[in-house]
Amino acid sequence: MALDRKIAFINLSTNEIEIKPIPMEVRKKYLGGRGLDAYLLFNHTKKGIDPIGPENTLIISGGILTATCASATARTHVMAKSPLTGLLGSTNMGGFFAPELAWAGFHHLVIKGKAKKPVYLFVQNGEIEIRDATNLWGKTTTDTQWSIREELGDDEVKSCVIGPAGENLVRFANVMTGIKNSGGRTGMGCVMGSKNLKAVAARGTMDIHLAHPQEALEYNKRFIDQITSAKVNQIQGILGTPFIWGATNCWGGVRTRNFQYNQLEYADDVEPERFDEIATETIGPYHMTGCFGCQIHCRAQYKIPSGPYAGKYDEGPEYTSQGAFASEPGCTSAETVLVGNHLVDQFGMDNLETGSIISWAMELYEEGILTGKETDGLDLRFGNDKALLEMVERICYRKGWLGDTLADGGIPAAEKIGKNAFDYLIQVKGMNNLHSDERATPALALNIATASRGSDHLRSRPAIDLYHLPEEVLRKIYSSPISYDGPLSSKHTSYDGKAWMVYWQENCYMAVDCLGICKYHTLFLGATLPNFEDWPKVIYYNTGLELTPKEIWTIAERGNMIERMFNLREGLTRYDLRKGDMLNHRYFDEPCRRGAPDVIGMSIDRKKFDKMIDEFYTFKGLTKNGRPKAETLKRLTLEKEPSHLL
C-alpha cells in the first residue's frame, strides 16, 4: 500500500542502519513530510546541541501522498536544528527526489552522527548503502549529481546534494536536487556538510499500491482542471515566479537597497518579460519546465547570454533571485540576476540569505560602518554588480575577513562587526527577511514575524489579502473547516481579522507540507485552489486513510505546535524584541518612500501590531508570552512529548 513506505535511522559515526515501519498511530497524528519530521526532530535531538555537531539529527522525507496519483507530490522536506538561527531548521524543495525515494521504499531518513570522511547514501529498493564520496568533495551541485549517476551507471538516479558552500559550513548553505530545486533557508546544506554527507542518492522501482486507484485517478483529474484553470497558475506557466516580482515592484512592495526603499526604479531589464525573452532553452517544444506530477511548469530554462559565464545553462530565475540580485542590492542588469542565480545554484547557497546579507553589508559600507579595510578594497556600494557577484564567491569559499564573517549569518556577523550594525539587519529569529516589504500589509508583516523558522513567505502568508476579495468570499474561505465569526477585512492595510487569516494559512501550509504537495496547488496565490475540504478524498483514494477536514486541521495544528515547542526549548526568546516574534524597528520607524498611493508613507503601527500578536497567540492556544497552554497541549495530545513513539 501507499503507507508501507519505511523510515530508516542511519548513524554515520557507526555506519549502523535500522529500518522500521511507520506506525499507523504516528501517521494519524502527523501524516508525513514536515509534520512527522517535526515530531522526529523534537524526539531525536537533545536540548542545546551544537547544530554543526554530530548530535544534530538531519531528517529527509517525502509527504504521505508522495509518488501517488495525487497531483504535484514532488516536495522533499529536510529538517534539523538550524546552524543559522539555532532554532528550527526546515526546508522544502521540488524536483524528483522524494518520489524516487518513495519508489525506493522510504518516506523518511533520520541521519545522525558524522562520517570520518566524505560519504554519500545510496537508497535502492529497500536497501541503504553508505558509499565513499571523497572524489565528489569540492564539486558543484550539478557536477556532483552527474558524477553519482556515472558512478552508479544509471541516469535515473535522483540525488539531494550539497555544493562547496555546504562543505565550507556556510550557515545558509542549501540542499539541492536537479539544476534549480533549492532546499533553501535555515542552512540544511551546512548540516549535511558538518556530517561529511555530500549527497543522498535514490533509485527505486518498487510498486506503490493505491487503495482505490480508479477513484484516485478520476479525482486527481478534477484537481488538475481546478489547478490549471486558475489564472495565477496560467501566468506562472508563461512567465514563472518573476511575474510576482514584477507586479509587486510596480506596486511598491519589494525591499530595495536593504530596507531604504520599497521599489526598484529603472528596472526594465529585470522585469519578467525580459527574462522570458532570454529563457529560450527548451525541452521538446517548451521553454518552461516543472517538477514531478506538476501541470503548471513555473520554471524557465536559460543560458546566460553574455559575459564571462556566457553559455552556462540554468533554470529560473525565481522571484527570490530578482530580489537577491536586483532590488536588494540596487542592481538593474538581467545578466547580473542570471549569473547570481547560477552561482548560488552551483555553490548550493540560499539566494534569499545571500542577497540580503550582501545588501546589508552594502548599507553598512555606505554608512561607514564597514570600510575598505574590512572589504579588502572592494567598493561595496549599492548598484555595483561586480562587487555583488564577487561577494557571492567570497562567502561560499569564506574568502577574506568579510566573506568569512558573512558566511556565519547576520546575527554573528553583526556581533563581529560591532558598532550599530545590528540595527540595519532586517531579520526575524536570526534569518534575514525575504525580498518583500510588508510595511503596507499588516497581515504579511505578522506572517513573517511569527513564522516558525524565521522570516518566511511559505509558512503562513495570506497572499490573497492583496486581492481585495469581498468579505463574503473571505469568510467562506476562512470559516472552513473551523467556523470563524470574527472580523475580516478586504483592505490589505487593515489590521482587522488578519491574525485569524495568518493562523488559518499557517495550518493550511503545514497540511500541504505533510501531504507533500506544492503550495501552488493549494490556497496560496489562488483563492479557488484546493484546501482542507478537498484533501480527505485525495488522501482516502490514494492511501485508504480516512480523515475529515477538521482532523486534518488538527494534525496541522499539532505539527505547528511541536515546531514552536522545539523553538522554545532551544531558546526562541533570546531574540526577544517581543517574545521572539517581532520585526526590525525600521518597520515601525521608517515609512515607505515609493510606490502606489496606498503604499507611500505606510509603516506598521506598533500598538495594533502588538494586538495582532496577542490575537494570534489566542488562536493558537498560547499564553501572553507565547508559550503553549496546558490545555492546548492536552487537546493536541502533546503533553507527554517527547513520547518516542518512533
| pLDDT tens column, 216-269 | 999 999 888 888 888 888 888 888 888 899 999 999 999 999 999 999 999 999
CA distances from 537 to 99, 389, 523, 543, 545 (A): 21, 48, 17, 10, 9
* Sheet strands (E) in 585-624: none
Calpha distance 308→287 (Å, rounded) = 24
Q: What is the pLDDT of residues 518-548, one digit of tens each?
A: 998 898 888 888 899 999 999 999 999 999 9
How much is the pLDDT for 240?
87
Strand partners, 128: 123
The pLDDT of residue 44 is above 50: yes
Residue 584 to residue 418: CA distance in whole angstroms = 17
Q: In the block, which residue shows the cell 531604504?
A: 260
- Phi/psi region, residue 27 (left: phi>0; alpha: psi -120 to 50; beta: rest), is alpha
What is the C-alpha separation between 104 and 240, in angstroms, rounded? 31
Cell digits of residue 566: 522545539
Q: How far apart are CA 95 and CA 292, in angstroms?
A: 6
Phi and psi angles of residue 73, each rounded to the nearest 5 degrees, phi first? -95, 55
Average pLDDT, the chain: 95
In the chain, the amino acid numbered 132 is D
Q: Is the dihedral of CA 218, 220, 226, 227 positive or negative?
A: negative
- Beta-bridge partner residues of 91: 78
Q: What is the pLDDT averaged over residues 470-499?
A: 96
Q: How far is CA 545 from CA 21, 542, 548, 591, in A?
A: 16, 8, 10, 50
Q: Among residues 176, 162, 159, 72, which one has the least CA distance to residue 124?
A: 159
**Strand segments (E) across 423-486:** 427-428, 431-432
Count of CB atoms situated within 10 Å of the CB of 485: 7
Q: Give pTM, 2 decimals.
A: 0.97
SS3 label, residue 112: strand
H or E stretch covering 188: helix 188-194
Residue 251 is inside which H or E element, if any? helix 242-251
Return the C-alpha cell found at 599: 503604499
Percent of the chain with pLDDT over 90: 87
pLDDT score, position 223: 84
Closest CA to 433 of 451, 416, 415, 408: 451
DSSP for 44-100 reads HS-TT--TTSTT--EEEEE-TTTTSSSTT---EEEEEE-TTTSSEEEEEE-SSHHHH
> Which of 159, 76, 80, 148 lies closest to 113 in space, CA to CA?
80
Q: Which residues, in sequence order, are bridge partners of residue 11?
A: 16, 112
Give the pLDDT score at 231.
86
> What's the 3-state SS for 353-412?
HHHHHHHHHHHHHHCCCCCCCCCCCCCCCCCCHHHHHHHHHHHHCCCHHHHHHHCCCHHH
* pLDDT at position 574: 66
| Torsion of the alpha carbons at 222, 227, 228 and 233, rounded to the nearest 10 | 180
Residue 3 phi, psi (nearest 5):
-95, 10
Q: What is the Cα–Cα distance from 244 to 248, expressed in whole angstroms?
A: 6
Q: What angle do CA 331, 167, 373 make, to 5 degrees?
A: 50
Question: Tell me, what's the pLDDT at 238?
Answer: 85
pLDDT, tens only, 259-299: 999 999 999 999 999 998 988 887 666 678 889 999 888 88
Half-sphere exposure of 490 (CA within 13 A, CB side): 7
pLDDT (tens digit per residue) in 157-172: 999 999 999 999 999 9
First to last CA, the chain: 20
d(CA 355, CA 346): 15
User: Count of CB atoms within 10 A of residue 230's CB?
Assistant: 18
Helix (H), strand (E) at residue 121: strand 119-124
Q: In the chain, what's the furthest Cα-to-Cα distance?
A: 68
Share of the chain above pLDDT 70, in %: 98
**Which pLDDT score is estimated for 575?**
55
Q: In which residue are the cell numbers 564573517 written?
A: 405
Question: What nine digits make up the cell of 293?
Answer: 506530477
Task: Check: CB of residue 505 under 8 Å from CB of residue 461.
Answer: yes
Domains (ranges, CATH) in the chain?
Answer: 2-203 (3.60.9.10), 249-432 (1.10.569.10), 442-635 (1.10.599.10)
pLDDT number for residue 577:
41
> What value does the mean pLDDT take over residues 340-355?
97
**Owner of C-alpha cell 538561527:** 85
Report pLDDT for 281. Answer: 80
- The amino acid sitting at 140 is T
Instruction: Report d(CA 104, CA 94) in Å as an integer.
Output: 18
Report the distance separating Cα 8 and Cα 18, nearest Å: 6
Q: What is the DSSP letter of 448?
A: H
CA-based nearest residue to 174, from 457, 512, 81, 164 = 164
Q: Which residue has the cell 529603472?
A: 266
- Give pLDDT, residue 279: 84
pLDDT digits (tens, 9 = 90+) for 88-118: 999 999 999 999 999 999 999 999 999 999 9
C-alpha to C-alpha distance for 393 and 343, rounded to whole angstroms: 8
Say how far apart CA 641 and CA 43 lie, in whole Å. 8
Residue 576 has pLDDT above 60, yes or no: no
Q: Which of 393, 396, 367 is nearest to 382 (CA)?
A: 367
C-alpha cell at 191: 548540516
